């Protein structure tokens, strides 16, 4: 994975000097996975996004789809996501019914 050397150096220095958790809740305790999900749903609602479909893992899927649209390199995407093969990555890239219909409509020109 290509991580800029400056980011590696800064991260190494930061985490050597800071022993506390990076993300805390309003009580100063480490934020839990449930807390992250709860906050995402609050922000989703404020942005007019259906909160029932917002989950932390969905951002991974969203990233995968956007990355592939821009880079068209499923092997690199599989590597970035930590997948051992592209078959697992392909599961992330399934198109919705409306996206499938749009792809067909854009491909057919008769």
pLDDT digits (tens, 9 = 90+) for 31-54: 999 999 999 999 999 999 998 989
Measured at the alpha carbon of residue 59, what is the angle toward residues 38 and 95, in degrees to the nearest 5?
125
What's the pTM value of the predicted model, to 2 decimals? 0.60
Of the candidates 55, 60, 109, the one whose C-alpha atom is nearest the C-alpha of residue 89 is 60
- The string of DSSP letters for 19-79 reads -S-SSB-TTSSBPPHHHHHHHHHHHHHHTT--GGG--HHHHHHHHHHHHHHHH--HHHHHH
pLDDT digits (tens, 9 = 90+) for 20-37: 788 888 898 999 999 999
* CB hemisphere CA count around 69 (13 angstroms): 12
* CB hemisphere CA count around 53 (13 angstroms): 5
| SS3 of residue 86 by DSSP | helix
């Amino acid at each position: 994975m290509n991580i800029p050397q400056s980011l590696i150096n800064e991260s190494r220095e930061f985490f050597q000097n800071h022993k506390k958790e990076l993300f805390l809740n309003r009580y100063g305790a480490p934020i839990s996975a449930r807390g992250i999900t709860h906050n995402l749903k609050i922000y989703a609602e404020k942005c007019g996004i259906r909160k029932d479909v917002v989950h932390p893992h969905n951002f991974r899927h969203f990233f995968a789809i956007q990355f592939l649209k821009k880079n068209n390199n499923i092997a690199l995407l599989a590597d970035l996501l930590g997948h051992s093969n592209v078959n697992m990555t392909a599961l992330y890239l399934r198109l919705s019914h409306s996206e499938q219909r749009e792809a067909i409509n854009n491909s057919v020109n008769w």
